């Protein structure tokens, strides 16, 4: 996949270099959300809350999940306006989460570092970090 670099204003007094992928034309700012973590909220319901640090000028966030650390991530939630999100009931097994920020109307941040939460079956309701 080809990447085109361009400079975009980060604020009135500074510029940030962003990458725009040639295949989708999606512009990505340099940094994604930091401090991403997850916590088991309800072992019996297998629910997890994902939290992260705010990104400057972000209008909302998208949360993605995968059953493998390096696998394909699918949308779990879009247009989250705060810095946390709680899943519905998750399937037993390990689930990894990543978060992206939407800055302005078109700029998507880089993905955060993945975080994971292991959820076991309801016969052994317990959450553990992988």
Question: Residue 82's beta-bridge partner residues?
Answer: none
Positive or negative: CA dihedral 119, 121, 125, 130 = negative
Neighbours of 94 (CB within 10 A): 17
**Whether pLDDT at 122 is above 70:** no
pTM (2 decimals)? 0.73
Q: Give Cα 12 distance to the centre of its chain.
A: 27
Which domains are present in the chain?
A: 1-30 (no CATH), 31-128 (2.60.40.10)
pLDDT band, residue 26 (cuts 50/70/90): low
Lowest mean pLDDT among 38-42, 46-50, 84-88: 38-42
């Amino acid at each position: 996949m080809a990447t085109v670099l361009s400079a975009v204003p980060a604020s009135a007094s500074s510029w940030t270099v962003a990458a725009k992928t040639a295949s989708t034309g999606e512009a990505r700012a340099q940094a994604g959300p930091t401090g991403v973590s997850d916590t088991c909220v309800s072992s019996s319901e297998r629910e997890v809350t994902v939290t992260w640090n705010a990104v400057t000028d972000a209008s909302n966030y998208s949360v993605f999940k995968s059953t493998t650390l390096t696998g394909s991530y699918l949308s779990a939630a879009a247009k989250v306006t705060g810095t946390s999100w709680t899943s519905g009931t998750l399937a037993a097994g390990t689930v990894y989460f990543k978060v992206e920020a939407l800055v302005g109307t078109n700029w998507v941040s880089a993905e955060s570092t993945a975080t994971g939460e292991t959820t076991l079956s309801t016969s052994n309701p317990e959450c553990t970090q992988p």
